[in-house]
Amino acid sequence: MRANYRRGLQTAFAVLACAGLAACGSGKGLTGGLSESRINPVNWITPYKIEVVQGNFVSREQVELLKPGMSREQVRQVLGTPLLASLFHADRWDYVFTLKRQGVEPQALRLTVFFKGDALERFEGDDMPSESDFVAKLDSRRKLGKVPVLELTEEQLKAAEKKPAATAATPTVTSPVSAPSAASYPPLESPAR
């Protein structure tokens, strides 16, 4: 009797284990789609993704400085060294900028500068943000609301002047234990033996 009981438990355990494994393999399994829902605590944890900045950021102010007829060296001084300068397209410089941040759509900006000989002929590309707009987009700190005024009003200044300075400067000691002297601290280094 005991051997039959043990064999029955083993069979039941094997059937339950197979059913559990089969449920894990399916999309929703026994949890009814818990792994796909927002209430699963595992979905709250996301890995840290670093910010990836590639290329040359070109601001609207820099683009406004470009004028047809500028030399290659003048364009390089205004925009910096191009990200792409091809041997097959010697009269074309490409300035590409990409920014990938966690929780924000990737940004990609492009500006292409065309030369005729050594002189700037034309340029085209995306509408570039100003430097202040770009910096404002980068600021990912949490906004805490209105900053309080850190200046005293005239009434507060007059009230502070009326308080006697002698009572504010003398601390009151309630017990000798509450204010330890500097000599009561242990030494920083142990004595040499």
Q: Note the pLDDT tens digit of each residue in 143-152.
A: 666 777 778 7
Burial class (CB in 10 A: 0-12, 13-18, 19+), 179: exposed
Domains of the chain: 2-44 (no CATH), 52-138 (3.30.1450)
68 contacts: CB under 8 Å, gap ≥ 6: 119, 120, 121, 122
Could you tell me how many residues make up the chain?
A: 193
Most confident of 35-44, 70-79, 95-104: 70-79
Look-up of token digits 């060294």: 81
Q: Note the pLDDT tens digit of each residue in 163-182.
A: 765 554 555 555 555 555 55
- What's the pLDDT at 162? 81
What is the rounded average pLDDT for all residues in the chain?
Answer: 76
